Amino acid sequence: MPHLELSTFVILGIVIIVAFHAGKNIRHLKLPSLIGYMVLGVILGPSLCNILSEGLQLRLSFITEIALSFVAVSIGLELKFSSLKKLGMGIIWIILMESFGAFLVVFGGLYLLTGDLPLSLIFGAIAPASAPAGTVAVIQEYRARGGLTKALYAVVGFDDGLGIIIFGFAASFARMILDREGGSDHVSLMSLLISPIKEIFFSILVGVVAGWLFSLMTRRLKNPTDVLMLLFGYVFLATGLCDMLHLSVILTNMVLGMLVVNTQQHALVQKIHDRLPLIMPLLFLLFFTLAGANLHLSNLPALGLLGAVYILTRTTGLMGGSYIGGILGGVEKKIRNYTGMGILSQAGVAIGLALIVKHEFTEVGVTIQTAAGEMTRGAHLGAVVITTVTATCIFFEIIGPILTKIALTKAGEIPTDAGDNN
């Protein structure tokens, strides 16, 4: 009898059915559904059963991009300037202090541990990057509403943009240090900063153009389903352009959503709000199951002291920075106390930045002897960063959504009937 290979659609069907029940059952433990999805992903992934193999994950990677794109649009649609104005300068202070707080505390902690300036700069630069999907999934699953919810939407939306800027500067300085160690003086700071500046500028530009075209084409549509179909088209278009031009999918689609909610009549925005929640649960299910499959348990032993210090300092920097920003900005007590708990998730963006380091630092620095053989300082730094960040993301992706739910509960922003939809 010939070997029967399961088709991708059969595997996807099984994943959706089993993940649905895993999400429902995990709710009995008072945990967000996405934890159930991720646990199932780990079981089905290369770490255990290998049903969601590396090759299959690569073929399904477009699902992750689609989900992230709509998470970003959802964030943008919540960032109405009139609402943000009510939060005042407080939200800006929180975003600045949690991002720079994470950078400085992680940088300081790892420099004290290793004495390696370039390595500490890179880890500090990756620390502010958050995983907005985890925070948004919890908010939407529990139908949270209130000041803290609005603050979380704003923070996870804007801190990735600020994180890219911080990473651009820090990575540039780290590379200059490594270059000089290797006897090269030809790299200018400005030439290294052009790439992140261009990425942010063109991400915003593509988001504005896509949002404007979408608004123009849908202004006269009366059926919410028609609006949703066109939204899919423009989000796919914007995401495709991001892939082609190496832009930020999150920033571009967040700007698209922001432009729509701040320039169009309430009726159009309401049509989107009426239909978008119908597709988000399925996207979250697929996204977090695939994210779980991508978490290799074999990386956990690589955590070591470096990973433990990174986890501790990043948590301290984000939570402490948010609290200090809340004090400086004069925000209400629940926003000041609980914003930091809601922004700890870290995954795709951080791993993406780590991959950039691994790719672009390969030929940088002097040649050194390591356990893996001879390699440049830059190549060794890249290997350490990608291994440690991937391992720590397992921790942050699990603990982050749990703490988000706790924060929203303590702030009184989860309706009492939100857990009754099992």
Answer with the residue of higher pLDDT: 260 or 156. 260
Could you tell me the pLDDT band of residue 207, with boundaries at 50, 70 and 90? very high
Answer with the residue of higher pLDDT: 10 or 370. 10
Q: Work out the angle between the directed axes of helices 224-245 and 249-263 (0-180°, nearest 10).
A: 140
Rg of the chain over CA atoms, in angstroms? Answer: 21
SS3 375: strand
pLDDT digits (tens, 9 = 90+) for 376-395: 777 777 778 877 887 787 78
Q: What is the structure's pLDDT at 1?
A: 44
Closest CA to 76 of 216, 259, 276: 259
Which residues, at least 6 apart from 311, have a Cβ–Cβ distance to it below 8 Å?
A: 303, 392, 395, 396
Evaluate if residue 316 carries a pLDDT over 50: yes
Is pTM, for the whole model, over 0.75?
no
pLDDT digits (tens, 9 = 90+) for 133-165: 788 888 888 888 888 888 888 888 777 777 777
